[in-house]
Amino acid sequence: MRLLKDIIIAIDGYSSCGKSTLARNLAKCLGYRHIDTGAMYRAITLYCLENNYIKNNEINIDLLLPKLEQLNIDFKYNEKQGINEIYLNNRSVESLIREPVVSDHASIVSKIPQVRALLVRLQQKMGEKKRIVMDGRDIGTVVFPNADIKFFMTAKPEIRAQRRYKELVENGITISLDEVSKNIEERDYLDTHRSISPLVQANDAIVIDNSFLTKEQQFNQVLEVLKAKFPYEN
């Protein structure tokens, strides 16, 4: 499908709501670029963990800040897998950032003002030419408040935990459902209560509760919204 107008599509929502899967499939359908902003925060989290900047859930800001502007974060399309892989300092970290230990600390890193300022700046630059589908927590409220269309994804916490647990197990990661549920609960609290760019639904966002939708049903629902709002050619 080809839209006759180049647009920015913002997708926000809670963790484990399938935002990135939806955004990736939508970008592929439209011939757009997909940017998973959560992966960018995870990449910095991974950097902090690998360099021992995090101890007892506390980040040594004095060690991180001098290195922050030197970090090279980018996306490169992997034709074999059909995804935009994230690279940290010219190294693919797509699989590493999905590890539970990174998930456990990502919300702590994302609340650092200097981290958010850097990544928001990078994200806005990525969208200068439009033709982009970007997902995260503050895309429609902070990064692109004037995005052409905004979606807000949500689902019941227990269903999100089950989905995340299944995904981790399928990837060979040993973890209990209780651990996953606790992680999601903590991330929800941190994401919605941080003082800078908290997760909130934009007033003009279209809400999609996918608790009982398949990935295909969710994708088709979003596609129908786009078809109704923007002129296109098949």
What residue ranges define each of the domains in the chain, with the CATH number in brackets? 8-224 (3.40.50.300)
Q: What is the DSSP letter of 153?
A: E
| Predicted local confidence at residue 57, as pLDDT | 87
**Residue 59, CA distances (Å) to 38, 95, 98, 128 in order:** 18, 23, 20, 32
The pLDDT value given to residue 83: 83
What is the average pLDDT score of the chain? Answer: 94
Which segment of 33-42, 74-83, 105-114, 132-141 scores lowest on mean pLDDT? 74-83
pLDDT tens profile 10-64? 999 998 999 999 999 999 999 999 999 999 999 999 999 999 999 988 999 999 9
User: What was the pLDDT predicted at 81?
Assistant: 81
Taking each helix axis from N to C end, the angle separating 19-30 and 215-229, rounded to the nearest 10 degrees, works out to 50
pTM, to two decimals: 0.91
Residue 230 has pLDDT above 90, yes or no: yes
- Please say whether the beta carbons of 183 and 103 come within 8 A: yes
Residue 149 pairs in a beta bridge with: 9
Contacts of 63 (CB under 8 A, 6+ apart): 51, 53
Question: What local confidence, expressed as pLDDT, does residue 100 receive?
Answer: 86
Measured from the Cβ of residue 22, the count of other Cβ atoms closer than 10 Å reads 24
